[in-house]
């Protein structure tokens, strides 16, 4: 029937592409939260990344340079957040919101001359014979380079957090900042670095939207991807591989929903397109209700202000 | 014994208003198990912080292995061979044992080697630990092992243990003592801080006793009786209270066979609590910190709900009611933590008066606040309890500890309750304020209210209580009359398993 | 060396002065932004902040607009501020605003073409109920499942936007003009029209409701035990439990009030200035209201002033867009900067900057 017209290999391929921007933002935010900071400005950093990446890519005719610019753009915005929360000791929630509101406005301003422009193409990674494999070749081995870099980033974050001393210190700071301070670790320095990493990742995620997934610049084009990334971190219980699984799951929902739209299912488009948000909310509720599991894994000092008394 | 490991000479440290340490001198020998004994506020923790480099002394000097020793930071102290196990652990719950150990070391080896060393060392000292387990999943005793092993891996010359047994089961205490004895035999000196007399007599070679910031004596605890030690610790004034039995009224508060889980993952659950409080009675509940005091207060105040019939107030079941309803019925409470629990730090004294006084002082009408009334109430408290403050609009956090405590306890007393529950009413409070508070509690009882005082201060309980019980790991001992109770018995109830120890004492 | 030292009591002076200082700093930074855009900064600032009210040329059009733009901002911000005081972060007011509009318009369209005095009051009730209902989703998920209300309320904005689109294109579409998306124009339906109460002032029922809400919130926060408990729970959660406050009840109340007020704002908008259910109906009042709440220090009176100011930036922004070709997004940037500066300045309220000179030997 309707579902029969959907090619599973194409579906799988599209799913990976749909998941990549959220996964990028989520893996960055995961590191930030592991250090004990909740940055609600992901959406703002993402859209700034989307626009800076787009503008730079168009002007340099290089998508790659665009991605680098997007990472820097997100990072610069995140530094603003670091300044507010780590130096000026402001409320994390309000500062994150400010970042999002500001980012949305600023991106629209930067991108006003770029609506309707086509960005340079991002090179596909040539995987030679791998892409020739029936089914798998189409589904897994014929993507742009960012899809694979993102997977590598997830692996890298996992390796960093669980197998390096620096990662251990980061987790310690997020778990109990008072004890970490007492043992002589620099809580604010660690957190600032984490926030910058989170900003860069969110920027990359945004650029993936504007340079590859859409690929175009439109105002407010992230439509909540940053918020979904935040939800994804909770869903993943702060574990990198689970974040990837969650992102792919989410990508699956998006793609399926799009395919159903295209196949002309007799449900209005609007209801289909709200399904990713509804599913995210439902999953959040289920994850957080299992109190023992989900919340136990949350970093102990998450969203608690830190001010060394001496 | 040859040259001492650590010599402390004339160390003094003053804080504004408090002489925490005054001219303290003593020495710790190589391989010695040295006890530091004293009540809360005697100056033990300040002295220990000086040795560990967390606090700088005003005067005096220390000599470690014949070299001048003045650590500026904990890491300097660690490098000199001093290690410390804290009363409140500095651990990371979400990290595993090996990671926790590594984070506390100056130059940790790679994690895999470290895990192996943790296994070896922990087994050698009879403190088995799995380096791969998450610290958050460990029991309090196991968590302490992590801290101890973290210290041992750095080959300390002096190991400081701050109230280590307050979180341990009796079996775990036995294991710990074995470990400490073995360490001492190998030449490590141990400074053991406690106010549990039996433990010190069982474990230590030498004891230095502090009181009011001064050294009172250094002695061999094994040659003293628990009574002698207790009298050294709390001063000669300690006499069994001579008190006319007050006219006791009816039972106003009763708890029956109540067991309740703590609301905190590392709290102490209450186990089979039974108690009866009469009108006009002051019931003192003694016990070492962390034995369920907080939980007992929360359960009685209503912040932790209990089965309906397990708690009764004047015969009426109130276990299921919250703090507001219990207050209306005549039960008020003053928790231990003044700032943030009993009072809101960033609110004015008027607002804090309203916080718990709203219903009993009729400060609201149809939910609308009578601010003038609240201000009047705050002023009454300030006047009657001599709270030193420029006015009622001052924020609670701007008050000194003693003044805020007078305000908080005063607020509850001024409500004319039938029952009042207080936890650590004079903790960290200057002597004059403490006297005011105790006097007020006695006066309230004389008016016919039931007063339940939870306290770690033996002196305080002896001064005001009519009857005694002690909390131990969430269990409450039998309530006994204060009349005729000997100091020895009080110490034993407080420090150990109560009646069991009496038998042990008799056979010794 | 610079050190931050916590003040014994927060400085009242800075609490009041900071919003004004933030506005001035935003004007300066905004001016620089206009320079970067190649516009004359003085003209731009004048167009945004002064001309809408004082200019003879534009004033007659702009002045009534001030109330029209500010009323929903104030109405929503007053509700949000109550929650923020209690540390309950409802940031999905935009969604509650949309749902209020849909419920209100739904009642009107159901009665069409009947006329009757009871229709508008019913729409008010329905609008408040719609917003309330939408806010109850995060409230119940929070109290039952411990789900983060920030994420849920925000994600529900996107859901509400999709429902709005579905309504505009489907159920509520005007059957007389099937070629165009959007519902009937409620301004042409007398019983449902939220008309100007005094012609030429912009004063409509939404403005009245905003005023009532401000007074209600002021009384509640300063004179009523509920307001006291809200503040207590936000400042010292353990002390609140000691006082007998039930946290779950507070979550429901705070989200409920904010939702109902946002719903009202949406309903008054759709039946008056907005006129019809359209896809472009929601223009971000729900988010700007967050800035209004903070800039107004979460205080009802402050919120009135902040609401008027940000309402002004909407109108002035349009004016500057028309006259100077200033991009519409620059107003959004402006609003974001305002919040940044305010937050950054606020450290002075709680901390004192100490310059400690190194001792020379």
Measured distance CA(C324)–CA(C321) in Å, rounded = 6
Q: Please indicate whether, in this complex, the C-beta atoms of A93 and C89 are within 8 angstroms of each other.
A: yes
Q: What is the pLDDT of residue C353?
A: 67
C223 touches chain B (CB under 8 A): yes
Q: Using DSSP bridges, classify how beta strands B33-37 and B189-194 pair: parallel, antiparallel or unpaired.
A: parallel
Choose among B24, B67, B30: nearest CA to B48: B24
The secondary element (H helix, E strand) that includes residue B189 is strand B189-194
Q: What is the pLDDT of residue A310?
A: 33
Res. C188: pLDDT tops 90:
no
Distance, in angstroms, between B113 CA and closest chain A CA? Answer: 14
Domain residue spans of chain A: 3-122+136-296
C225 touches chain B (CB under 8 A): yes
Confidence label for C104 from pLDDT (cuts 50, 70 and 90) = very high
Taking any CB pair shorter than 8 Å as contact, residues of chain B touching chain C are: 301-303, 322-325, 327, 333, 335, 337, 340-347, 351, 354-356, 358, 364, 367-369, 371, 394-395, 397-398
* Residue A19, C-beta contacts closer than 8 angstroms, at least 6 positions apart: A247, A248, A250, A251, A252
Res. A174: pLDDT tops 70:
yes
Tell me what the pLDDT averaged over chain C comes to: 88
C6 touches chain B (CB under 8 A): no
Q: B158 has which bridge partners?
A: B82, B189
A292 touches chain C (CB under 8 A): no
CB nearest to A168's CB, from B93, B102, B136: B102
Where does B251-339+416-507 sit in CATH, by number? 3.40.50.300
* Residue C80: both structure tokens together: 């949000």
Q: What is the pLDDT of residue A255?
A: 87
* Inter-chain contacts counted by CB atoms under 8 A, chains B and C: 70
Q: What is the pLDDT of residue C233?
A: 93
Exposed, middle or buried, B104 (CB in 10 Å: 0-12/13-18/19+)?
buried
Q: What is the pLDDT of residue C176?
A: 85
Chain C, nearest residue to A280 by Cα: C155
Which domain, by its residues, includes C140?
72-301
* Residue C36, C-beta contacts closer than 8 angstroms, at least 6 positions apart: none
Edge-to-edge strands of the sheet including B270-278?
B270-278, B251-260, B311-313, B316-317
With beta carbons less than 8 A apart as the criterion, state whether C65 and C200 touch: no
Q: Which residues of C touch B351 (CB under 8 A)?
A: 228
Q: What is the pLDDT of residue B89?
A: 61
Q: How many domains does chain C have?
A: 1
CB nearest to A105's CB, from C89, C152, C333: C333
Q: Please indicate whether, in this complex, the C-beta atoms of C163 and A84 are within 8 angstroms of each other.
A: no
With beta carbons less than 8 A apart as the criterion, state whether B159 and B2 touch: no
Task: Name, of A5-14, A263-272, B45-54, B367-376, the range with top average pLDDT.
Answer: B367-376
Q: Which residues of B touch A165 (CB under 8 A)?
A: 102, 108
* Residue B304, C-beta contacts closer than 8 angstroms, at least 6 positions apart: B260, B263, B295, B298
Res. A286: pLDDT tops 90:
no
According to CATH, the topology of domain A3-122+136-296 is ABC transporter involved in vitamin B12 uptake, BtuC (1.10.3470)
- Give tens-digit pLDDT for C129-172: 999 999 999 999 999 888 889 999 999 999 999 999 999 988 88
Residues of chain B with pLDDT under 70: 1-2, 16-18, 40-41, 87-89, 140, 166-171, 195, 234-247, 264-267, 288-290, 428, 430-431, 486-488, 490-492, 494-508
Q: Using DSSP bridges, classify how beta strands B158-162 and B82-85 pair: parallel, antiparallel or unpaired.
A: parallel
First-to-last C-alpha distance (Å) of chain B? 29
Q: Please indicate whether, in this complex, the C-beta atoms of A172 and B93 are within 8 angstroms of each other.
A: no
Q: Please indicate whether, in this complex, the C-beta atoms of C343 and A94 are within 8 angstroms of each other.
A: yes
Instruction: Assess whether the region B6-234 and the region B251-339+416-507 belong to the same CATH fold.
Output: yes
Around Cβ A116, how many Cβ atoms within 10 Å?
8
A310 touches chain B (CB under 8 A): no
Res. C207: pLDDT tops 70:
yes
CB nearest to A101's CB, from C141, C287, C328: C287
Cα-to-chain-centroid distance, residue C134: 16
Task: Name, of A174-183, A245-254, C89-98, the range with top average pLDDT.
Answer: C89-98
Cα-to-chain-centroid distance, residue A120: 22
Q: What is the pLDDT of residue A290?
A: 65
Q: What is the pLDDT of residue A1?
A: 42
C8 touches chain B (CB under 8 A): yes
Domain residue spans of chain B: 6-234, 251-339+416-507
Q: What is the pLDDT of residue B276?
A: 92
Sign of CA dihedral C40, C46, C47, C48: positive
C218 touches chain B (CB under 8 A): no
Q: Please indicate whether, in this complex, the C-beta atoms of A288 and C145 are within 8 angstroms of each other.
A: yes
Distance, in angstroms, between A241 CA and closest chain B CA? Answer: 18
Q: B312 has which bridge partners?
A: B254, B317
Which of A35, A36, A168 to mutate: most B Cβ within 10 Å? A168
Distance, in angstroms, between B323 CA and closest chain C CA? Answer: 5
Around Cβ C46, how many Cβ atoms within 10 Å?
16
For chain C, how long is the longest CA-to-CA vector? 90
Q: What is the pLDDT of residue B170?
A: 62
Choose among B329, B463, B362, B354: nearest CA to B407: B354
Res. A6: pLDDT tops 80:
no
Nearest-5° Cα angle at B347, B342 to B348: 105
CATH of the domain spanning B6-234, picked from 3.20.20.70, 3.30.160.270, 3.40.50.300, 3.40.50.720: 3.40.50.300
Which of B302, B318, B344 to mutate: most C Cβ within 10 Å? B344
ipTM for this prediction:
0.87
The angle that helices A187-208 and A165-175 make with each other, rounded to 10 degrees, is: 100
Which of B294, B305, B355 to mutate: most C Cβ within 10 Å? B355
Q: Which residues of A touch C157 (CB under 8 A)?
A: 224
Q: Please indicate whether, in this complex, the C-beta atoms of A300 and B99 are within 8 angstroms of each other.
A: no
Measured distance CA(C171)–CA(C174) in Å, rounded = 9
Task: Identify whether C262 is part of a domain.
Answer: yes
Q: Please indicate whether, in this complex, the C-beta atoms of B355 and C9 are within 8 angstroms of each other.
A: no
Average pLDDT, stretch C207-226?
94
A281 touches chain C (CB under 8 A): yes
CB nearest to C154's CB, from A95, A109, A227: A227
**With a threshold of 0.80, does the pTM exceed it?**
yes
CB contacts under 8 A, A 20-59 vs C, are 40
* Residue A149, C-beta contacts closer than 8 angstroms, at least 6 positions apart: none
Q: Please indicate whether, in this complex, the C-beta atoms of A281 and C152 are within 8 angstroms of each other.
A: yes
Q: What is the pLDDT of residue C191?
A: 83
- Give tens-digit pLDDT for A20-49: 999 999 999 999 999 999 999 999 999 999
- Give tens-digit pLDDT for B206-218: 999 988 888 888 8
């Amino acid at each position: 029937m309707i579902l029969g017209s959907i090619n599973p290999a194409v579906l799988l391929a599209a799913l990976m592409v749909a998941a990549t921007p959220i996964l990028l933002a989520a893996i960055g935010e995961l590191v930030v939260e592991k250090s004990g900071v909740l940055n609600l400005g992901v959406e703002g950093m993402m859209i700034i990344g989307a626009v800076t990446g787009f503008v730079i890519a168009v002007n340099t005719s290089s998508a790659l340079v665009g991605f680098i610019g997007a990472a820097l753009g997100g990072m610069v915005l995140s530094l603003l957040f670091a300044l507010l929360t780590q130096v000026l000791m402001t409320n994390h929630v309000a500062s994150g919101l400010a970042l999002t509101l500001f980012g949305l406005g600023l991106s629209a301003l930067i991108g006003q001359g770029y609506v309707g422009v086509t960005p340079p193409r991002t090179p596909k990674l040539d995987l030679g014979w791998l892409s020739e494999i029936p089914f798998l070749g189409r589904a897994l081995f014929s993507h742009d380079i960012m899809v694979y870099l993102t997977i590598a980033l997830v692996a890298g974050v996992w390796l960093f957090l669980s197998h390096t001393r620096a990662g251990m210190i980061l987790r310690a700071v997020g778990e109990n900042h008072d004890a970490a301070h007492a043992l002589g670790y620099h809580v604010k320095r660690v957190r600032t670095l984490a926030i910058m990493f989170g900003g860069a990742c969110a920027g990359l995620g945004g650029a993936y939207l504007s340079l590859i997934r859409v690929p175009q610049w439109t105002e407010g084009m992230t439509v909540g991807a940053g918020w979904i990334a935040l939800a994804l971190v909770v869903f993943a219980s702060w574990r990198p591989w689970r974040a990837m699984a969650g992102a792919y799951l989410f990508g699956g929902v998006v793609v399926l929903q799009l395919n159903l739209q295209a196949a002309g299912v007799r449900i209005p488009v609007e209801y289909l397109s709200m399904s990713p948000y509804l599913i995210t909310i439902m999953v959040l509720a289920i994850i957080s209700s299992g109190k023992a599991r989900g919340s136990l894994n949350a970093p102990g000092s998450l969203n608690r202000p830190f001010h060394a008394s001496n | 014994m040859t040259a001492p490991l650590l010599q402390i000479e004339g160390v003094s440290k003053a804080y504004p208003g408090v002489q925490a340490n005054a001219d303290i001198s003593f020495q710790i020998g190589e391989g010695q198990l040295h006890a530091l004994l004293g009540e809360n506020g005697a100056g033990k923790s300040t002295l220990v912080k000086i040795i560990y480099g967390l606090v700088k002394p005003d005067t005096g000097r220390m000599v470690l292995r014949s070299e001048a020793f003045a650590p500026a930071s904990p890491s300097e102290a660690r490098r000199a061979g001093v290690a410390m196990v804290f009363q409140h652990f500095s651990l990371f719950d979400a990290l595993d044992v090996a990671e926790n150990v590594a984070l506390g070391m100056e130059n940790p080896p790679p994690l895999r080697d470290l895990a192996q060393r943790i296994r070896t060392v922990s087994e050698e000292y009879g403190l088995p630990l799995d380096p791969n387990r998450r610290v958050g999943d460990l029991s309090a005793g196991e968590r302490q092992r992590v801290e101890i092993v973290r210290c041992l891996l750095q080959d300390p010359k002096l190991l400081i243990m701050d109230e280590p047994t307050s979180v341990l089961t009796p079996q775990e205490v036995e294991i710990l003592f074995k470990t400490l004895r073995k360490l001492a035999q190998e030449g490590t000196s141990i400074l053991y801080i406690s106010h549990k007399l039996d433990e010190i007599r069982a474990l230590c070679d030498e004891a230095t006793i502090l009181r009011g910031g001064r050294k009172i004596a250094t002695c061999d605890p094994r040659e003293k009786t628990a009574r002698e030690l207790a009298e050294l610790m709390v001063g000669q004034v300690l006499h069994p209270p001579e008190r006319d039995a007050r006219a006791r009224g009816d039972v106003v508060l009763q708890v029956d066979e109540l067991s309740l889980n703590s609301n905190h993952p590392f709290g102490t659950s209450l186990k089979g609590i039974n108690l009866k409080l009469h009108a006009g009675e002051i019931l003192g509940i003694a016990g070492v910190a962390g034995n369920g005091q907080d939980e007992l207060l929360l359960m009685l105040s209503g912040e932790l709900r209990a089965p309906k019939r397990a708690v009764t107030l004047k015969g009426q079941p109130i276990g299921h009611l919250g703090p507001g309803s219990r207050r209306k019925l005549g039960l008020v409470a003053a928790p231990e933590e003044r700032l943030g629990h009993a009072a809101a730090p960033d609110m004015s004294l008027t607002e804090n008066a309203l916080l718990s006084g709203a219903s009993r002082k009729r400060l609201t009408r149809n939910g609308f606040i009578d601010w003038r009334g609240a201000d009047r109430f705050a002023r009454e408290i300030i006047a009657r309890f001599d709270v030193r403050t420029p006015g009622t609009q001052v924020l609670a956090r701007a008050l000194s500890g003693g003044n805020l405590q007078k305000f908080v306890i005063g607020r509850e007393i001024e409500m004319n309750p039938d029952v009042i529950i207080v936890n650590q009413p004079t903790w960290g409070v200057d002597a004059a304020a403490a006297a005011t508070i105790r006097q007020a509690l006695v006066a309230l009882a004389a008016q016919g209210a039931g007063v339940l005082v939870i306290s770690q201060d033996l002196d305080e309980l002896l001064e005001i209580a009519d009857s005694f019980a002690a909390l131990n790991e969430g269990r409450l001992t039998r309530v006994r009359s204060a009349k005729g109770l000997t100091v020895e018995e009080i110490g034993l109830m407080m420090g150990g398993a109560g009646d069991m120890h009496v038998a042990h004492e008799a056979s010794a | 060396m610079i050190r931050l030292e916590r003040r014994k009591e927060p400085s009242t002076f800075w609490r009041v002065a900071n919003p004004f200082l933030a506005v001035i700093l935003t004007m300066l930074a905004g001016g620089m932004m206009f320079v970067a855009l190649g516009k004359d900064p003085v003209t731009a600032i004048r167009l945004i902040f002064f001309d809408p009210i004082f200019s003879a040329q534009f004033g007659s059009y702009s002045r009534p607009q001030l109330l029209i733009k500010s009323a929903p901002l104030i109405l929503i911000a007053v509700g949000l501020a109550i929650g923020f005081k209690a540390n309950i972060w409802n940031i999905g007011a935009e969604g509650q605003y949309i749902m209020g509009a849909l419920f209100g318009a739904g009642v009107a369209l159901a009665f069409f073409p009947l006329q009757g005095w009871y229709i508008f009051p019913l729409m008010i009730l329905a609008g408040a109920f719609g917003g309330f209902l939408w806010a109850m989703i995060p409230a119940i998920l929070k109290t039952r499942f411990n789900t983060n209300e920030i994420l849920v309320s925000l994600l529900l904005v996107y859901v509400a936007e999709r429902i709005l689109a579905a309504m505009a294109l489907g159920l509520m579409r005007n059957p007389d003009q099937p070629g165009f998306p959007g519902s009937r124009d409620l301004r042409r339906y007398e019983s449902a029209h939220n008309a100007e109460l005094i012609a030429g002032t912009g004063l409509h029922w939404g403005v009245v409701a905003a005023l009532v809400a401000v007074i209600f919130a002021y009384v509640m926060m300063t004179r009523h035990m509920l307001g006291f408990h809200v503040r207590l729970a936000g400042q010292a959660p353990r002390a609140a439990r000691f006082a007998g406050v039930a946290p779950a009840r507070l979550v429901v109340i705070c989200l409920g009030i904010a939702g109902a007020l946002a719903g009202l704002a949406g309903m008054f908008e759709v039946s008056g200035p907005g006129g019809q259910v359209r896809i472009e109906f929601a223009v971000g009042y729900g988010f700007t209201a967050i800035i209004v709440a903070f800039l107004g220090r979460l205080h009802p009176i402050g919120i009135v002033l902040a609401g008027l100011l940000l309402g002004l930036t909407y109108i002035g922004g349009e004016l500057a867009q028309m006259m100077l070709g200033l991009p519409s997004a620059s107003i959004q940037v402006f609003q974001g900067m305002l919040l940044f500066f305010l937050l950054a300045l606020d450290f002075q309220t709680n901390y004192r900057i100490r310059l400690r000179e190194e001792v020379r030997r």
